[in-house]
């Protein structure tokens, strides 16, 4: 009986195509970024201690403004606050507006810039020079996170296990959400105090 021809696998077809074409796609990025400087992002990590201090005071001011947000309506405030948050954090941290900010636990290095969007530490592919395996030009956000966290008062926060990203919060203001939660906690604590 004649031998049946074996069906080529997809891997062998890919290998053959790679051998027969000189075309090599360039500028491919899992996150759509082009090769660029990461200078400002790295500056933020280097100044994580000062930014931690600033953020703590900023959060207090935002919480003091709770009556204003309540009067305007959190929903109505969302648009303008998000506009500012997106630009400020985009400039300083390359923020991706995940809506559930963890910068204070990640040394001011935004984990959403990891092409794999890992929120609990690096993958096993960090290069020997501390760069990303997917985007070789980019310093690994988790190597940076460890470096930034080591300078912060809350350095142990990096050990907290982060929940998976809630995609329904994407493109929403983390600042307002954190404020609303803190205000609700404060009111609940005051209510309990009054009841005792």
Q: What angle do CA 99, 93, 177 make, to 5 degrees?
A: 20
Q: How far is the CB of 188 from ligand SF4 (least distance, A)?
A: 25
Q: How far is the CB of 92 from ligand SF4 (least distance, A)?
A: 8
For ligand SF4, give the closer residue by CB, 9 or 168.
Answer: 168
For ligand SF4, give the closer residue by CB, 15 or 170.
Answer: 170
Q: Who's near 29: CB < 8 A, 6+ residues apart? A: 115, 135
Phi/psi zone of residue 181: left (φ > 0), alpha (ψ -120 to 50 degrees), beta?
A: alpha
Count, residues in the chain: 196
Q: How far is the CB of 169 from ligand SF4 (least distance, A)?
A: 9
Q: How far is the CB of 176 from ligand SF4 (least distance, A)?
A: 12
For ligand SF4, give the closer residue by CB, 65 or 97.
Answer: 97
Q: Report CA-CA distances (Å) from 44 to 103, 154, 170.
A: 11, 16, 23
Q: How far is the CB of 49 from ligand SF4 (least distance, A)?
A: 17
Largest CA distance in the chain: 91
For ligand SF4, give the closer residue by CB, 111 or 183.
Answer: 111
Q: Is the dihedral of CA 116, 117, 119, 121 positive or negative?
A: positive
Q: Who's near 30: CB < 8 A, 6+ residues apart? A: 115, 116, 134, 135
> Using CB under 6 A as the criterion, which residues of the chain lie in contact with ligand SF4 when the complex forms?
89, 93, 95-98, 101-103, 110, 112, 174
For ligand SF4, give the closer residue by CB, 88 or 188.
Answer: 88
Q: How far is the CB of 96 from ligand SF4 (least distance, A)?
A: 4
Q: What angle do CA 131, 133, 138 make, to 5 degrees?
A: 40
Helix (H, G, I), strand (E, B) or coil at 117: coil
For ligand SF4, give the closer residue by CB, 96 or 152.
Answer: 96
């Amino acid at each position: 009986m004649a031998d049946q021809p074996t069906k080529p696998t997809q891997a062998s077809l890919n290998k053959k195509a790679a051998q027969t074409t000189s075309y090599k796609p360039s500028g491919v990025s899992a996150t759509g970024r082009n090769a660029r400087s990461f200078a400002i992002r790295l500056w933020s990590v280097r100044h994580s201690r000062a930014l931690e201090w600033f953020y703590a005071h900023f959060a207090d001011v935002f919480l003091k403004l709770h009556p204003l947000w309540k009067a305007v309506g959190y929903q109505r405030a969302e648009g303008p606050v998000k506009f500012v948050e997106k630009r400020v954090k985009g400039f300083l941290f390359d923020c991706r507006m995940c809506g559930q900010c963890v910068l204070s636990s990640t040394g001011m290095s935004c984990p959403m810039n990891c092409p794999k969007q890992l929120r609990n530490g690096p993958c096993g592919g960090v290069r020997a020079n501390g760069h990303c395996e997917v985007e070789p030009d980019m310093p690994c956000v988790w190597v940076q996170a460890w470096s930034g966290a080591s300078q912060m008062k809350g350095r142990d926060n990096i050990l907290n296990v982060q929940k998976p990203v809630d995609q329904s919060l994407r493109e929403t203001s983390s600042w307002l959400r954190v404020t609303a939660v803190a205000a609700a906690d404060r009111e609940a604590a005051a209510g309990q105090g009054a009841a005792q």
